[in-house]
Amino acid sequence: MNTLLKLASTSLMSAAMLASPALAQDQIRTLHLLSRPQAAQPAEFQAMQLIAQEWRKLGLDVEVDVMPWEQMSDQVWYNRNDWDATAWQMTGRPERSDPDEIIYNLFHSTTAESGYNFIGYANPEYDAVVEKQRVTIDPDARQALVVEAQEILAKDQPNMMLVHPEQAFAFDKTIWDEASVVNQSGIGIRNTWTWLSLAPKADQKDIIVNSADNVISVNPLYISGVTDSWITELVYDRLFRVGPDGLPTEWAAQSHEWRDDTTIAVTLRDDMMWHDGEPVTAEDVKFSYEATTGGEAPMYSPFGKGISGIEIEDGNVVVFSLTNPSASFITSSLAKINLIPKHVWEPILADLATKEENAESYQEEMPIGSGPYKFERWITNEEIVLSANTDHFNAPKAERWILRFVPNAEAALGMLRSGEINFLTDFSGDPQVLIDAAAADGDLEVMSTVDIGFRYIGFNNRRPPFNDPAFRSALSSAVDRRLIVNAAFKGFAVASNSVVSPALEFWHAKAVVDNFQAGADVAKSMLDEAGYTMVDGRLAYPEGVKETLGD
Partner 1 sequence: MNTLKPVLSRTLQLLLVLWAVVTILFLMFRLMPGNPLAAYIDPTFTLEQQEQLIRQFGLDKPLLSQYFTYLGNLLQGELGYSFRYRTPVAERIWLLLPNTLILTFSSLIIAYVFGILAGAWLAWRRGSRAEAVSLPIVLATRAMPEFWLGMVLLAIFSFSLGIFPAGGTRSAGTEYTSLWALYTSADFLSHLALPVLTLAIYSQGLPLLLMRSNMLDVMKEDFVTMAKVKGLSPYTIVIKHGARNALLPVMTSFAISVGYQLQGNVVVESVFSWPGLGRELVSAVSASDYPLAQGAFLMIAVVVIAMNLIADLLYTLLDPRISHA
Binding interface with partner 1 (CB under 8 A) = 67-71, 73-75, 77-78, 114-116, 118, 206, 208, 213-214, 216-217, 223, 298-299, 302, 356-357, 360-361, 363, 377, 379-383, 385, 400, 402, 404-408, 410-411, 414-415, 417-418, 420-421
Residues 6 or more apart whose Cβ sits within 8 Å of residue 165: 43, 450, 451, 453, 454, 455, 489, 492, 493
* Shortest Cβ 244–partner 1 spacing (Å): 27
* Shortest Cβ 413–partner 1 spacing (Å): 9
* Shortest Cβ 317–partner 1 spacing (Å): 31
Decide whether 58 or 335 has the Cβ nearer to partner 1: 335
* Shortest Cβ 400–partner 1 spacing (Å): 6
Amino acid at 201: K
Decide whether 253 or 415 has the Cβ nearer to partner 1: 415
* 210 membership: H or E segment, kind and range: strand 206-211
CB 188, CB 492: distance < 8 Å: no
Give me the phi and psi of 498, to 5 degrees please. Answer: -145, 145
Decide whether 410 or 521 has the Cβ nearer to partner 1: 410
Kindly give the pairing relationship between strand 538-540 and strand 253-260.
unpaired
Decide whether 113 or 543 has the Cβ nearer to partner 1: 113
Decide whether 17 or 379 has the Cβ nearer to partner 1: 379
* Shortest Cβ 50–partner 1 spacing (Å): 26
CB 472, CB 466: distance < 8 Å: yes
d(CA 343, CA 116): 36
Decide whether 217 or 477 has the Cβ nearer to partner 1: 217
Decide whether 212 or 247 has the Cβ nearer to partner 1: 212
* Shortest Cβ 410–partner 1 spacing (Å): 7
* Shortest Cβ 415–partner 1 spacing (Å): 5
d(CA 241, CA 501): 20
* Shortest Cβ 296–partner 1 spacing (Å): 11
* Shortest Cβ 521–partner 1 spacing (Å): 38
Decide whether 51 or 409 has the Cβ nearer to partner 1: 409
* Shortest Cβ 121–partner 1 spacing (Å): 16
Kindly give the pairing relationship between strand 31-35 and strand 400-405.
unpaired
Terminal Cα distance for the chain, rounded: 39
Decide whether 413 or 509 has the Cβ nearer to partner 1: 413
Question: Which residue stretches of 335-430 are H helix?
Answer: 342-352, 409-418
Decide whether 295 or 491 has the Cβ nearer to partner 1: 295
Residue 267 β-bridge partners: 255, 317
d(CA 134, CA 306): 12
d(CA 114, CA 38): 29
Amino acid at 12: L
* Shortest Cβ 73–partner 1 spacing (Å): 5
d(CA 349, CA 331): 26
Hey, is 250 helix, strand or coil? strand
Decide whether 210 or 473 has the Cβ nearer to partner 1: 210
d(CA 371, CA 349): 21
d(CA 303, CA 353): 21
CB 117, CB 108: distance < 8 Å: yes
Q: Of 508, 520, 550, nearest to 53 (Cα)?
A: 520
Question: Which residue stretches of 182-310 are H helix?
Answer: 192-197, 226-235, 282-293
Give me the phi and psi of 165, to 5 degrees please. Answer: -70, 155
Amino acid at 464: P
Decide whether 410 or 543 has the Cβ nearer to partner 1: 410
* 327 membership: H or E segment, kind and range: none
d(CA 415, CA 418): 5
Give me the phi and psi of 311, to 5 degrees please. Answer: -125, 150
* Shortest Cβ 389–partner 1 spacing (Å): 16
